């Protein structure tokens, strides 16, 4: 184990029995069930409202000679010595300063969103990745919570719906039975959470998981690297007449600091786009899967290998918040699935479709 892992002070956060106060709230801690709340000077972020049990004493530096860091955010996960597994709804990692150098990555997966707290400067030159894997085996931190609901599942051989979150997912293509119909987009959540999964195709491919969630707090925050919370593409229908799986929605990124404390350089990129929907299958040929978004202004493409199944819809990208519908079945194949909708980003003052997607929601609902 590397020395910085062993020496980093762990943080435990306040309970979240009620929603954290929005921007402009008093930022005070919730009462702890185990005793009096921490000192107010140990609480950070008016939206995240993270209260440390003790201030950290060591920096977190991922240098050029270090390996990429994998964080399991599940409660009690033995593989995550840096992650609080106490009473918080979040996995909190705190340090005096945080510096992730170029070409190095923090990868976070598991049930809880990831929160990184720097008492001083936060510098990102590398990457923070809370995406869900294309094969469905890895769920980005806090992705696809059980609170996602309100959609119509595909039946028989029609395409599945794309996941909805900050933007609406696309609908599946109707072939036989009912197509998947995406739920409506929702408002900015009261607490940090991940995006929603796409729906399975009728007799067909599984939907992609939503993107995960990450919150960042620092005295100053400098971004010259990438934060990726995009959703996974849906799987193509199997080699029978079958519907493709819908793309997962984008997740959530929150820089919980004032605009005056955020600097973004030429290499800075933040994105939480939806994944592409899967292609419908036909007899003898499986549909192609959708794919994740590779950059803020570039959509995750829907699956399309030219078979008789319908094409998957593209996911969201740039300022386009909605995923696209599955379409263009050529006869004898199943329906294409919808692409995933956008997630949420709160990063005050950062603009540009090729820099940030979806656009930052600078003022949070009161």
Q: Count how many domains the chain has.
A: 1
Residue 224 belongs to a domain: yes
Please give the Cα distance from 30 to 303 (Å, whole number): 46
C-alpha torsion angle, residues 186, 191, 192, 197 (rounded to 10): -40
Residue 343 belongs to a domain: yes
Q: Where are the alpha helices (DSSP H) in the chain?
A: 3-7
Residue 333 belongs to a domain: yes
Per residue in 82-135, pLDDT tens? 666 554 689 999 999 999 999 999 999 999 999 999 999 999 999 999 999 988
- Chain Cα centroid distance, residue 140: 6
> What pTM does this model have?
0.89
Asked whether the predicted pLDDT for residue 323 surpasses 80, the reply is yes
Residue 13 belongs to a domain: no
Residue 15 belongs to a domain: no
Please give the Cα distance from 5 to 304 (Å, whole number): 44
Residue 242 belongs to a domain: yes
Please give the Cα distance from 4 to 147 (Å, whole number): 36
Per residue in 326-348, pLDDT tens? 999 888 899 999 999 999 999 99
Per residue in 17-29, pLDDT tens? 223 333 333 333 3
Please give the Cα distance from 38 to 79 (Å, whole number): 27
Sign of the CA dihedral running 156, 158, 159, 161:
negative
65's tokens? 């000679």
> Looking at the DSSP assignment, which residues form a beta bridge with residue 56?
none
> What is the per-residue pLDDT for 137?
87
Q: Are 180 and 161 in contact (CB under 8 A)?
A: yes
Instruction: Determine the structural domain holding residue 143 and report its residue range.
Output: 57-366
Residue 17 belongs to a domain: no
Residue 112 belongs to a domain: yes
């Amino acid at each position: 184990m590397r020395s910085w892992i062993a020496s980093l002070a762990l943080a435990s956060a306040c309970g979240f029995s009620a929603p954290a106060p929005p921007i402009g709230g008093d930022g005070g801690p919730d009462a702890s069930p185990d005793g009096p709340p921490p000192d107010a000077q140990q609480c950070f972020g008016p939206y995240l409202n993270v209260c440390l049990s003790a201030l950290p004493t060591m920096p977190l530096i991922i240098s050029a000679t270090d390996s990429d860091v994998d964080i399991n955010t599940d409660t009690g996960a033995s593989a995550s010595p840096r992650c609080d597994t106490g009473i918080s709804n979040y996995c909190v990692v705190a340090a005096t300063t945080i510096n992730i150098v170029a070409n190095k990555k923090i990868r976070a997966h598991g049930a809880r969103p990831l929160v990184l707290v720097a008492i001083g400067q936060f510098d990102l030159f590398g990457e923070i990745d809370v995406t869900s894997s294309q094969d469905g085996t890895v769920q980005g931190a806090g992705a696809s919570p059980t609170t996602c609901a309100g959609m119509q599942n595909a039946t028989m051989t029609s395409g599945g719906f794309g996941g909805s979150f900050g933007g609406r997912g696309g609908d599946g293509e109707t072939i036989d039975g009912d197509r998947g119909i995406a739920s409506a987009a929702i408002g900015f959540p009261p607490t940090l959470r991940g995006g929603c999964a796409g729906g399975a195709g009728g007799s067909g491919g599984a939907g992609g998981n939503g993107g995960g969630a990450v919150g960042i707090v620092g005295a100053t925050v400098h971004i010259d690297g990438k934060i990726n919370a995009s959703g996974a593409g849906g799987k193509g229908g199997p080699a029978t007449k079958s519907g493709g799986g819908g793309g997962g929605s984008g997740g959530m990124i929150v820089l919980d600091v004032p605009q005056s404390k955020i600097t973004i350089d030429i290499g800075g990129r933040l994105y939480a786009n939806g994944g592409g929907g899967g292609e419908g299958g036909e007899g003898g040929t499986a549909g192609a899967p959708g794919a994740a978004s590779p950059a803020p202004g570039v959509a995750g493409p829907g699956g399309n290998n030219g078979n008789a199944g319908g094409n998957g819809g593209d996911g969201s990208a740039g300022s386009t918040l909605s995923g696209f519908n599955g379409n263009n079945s050529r006869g004898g194949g199943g329906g294409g699935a919808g692409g995933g909708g956008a997630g949420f980003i709160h990063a005050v003052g950062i603009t540009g479709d090729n820099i940030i997607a979806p656009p930052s929601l600078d003022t949070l609902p009161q």
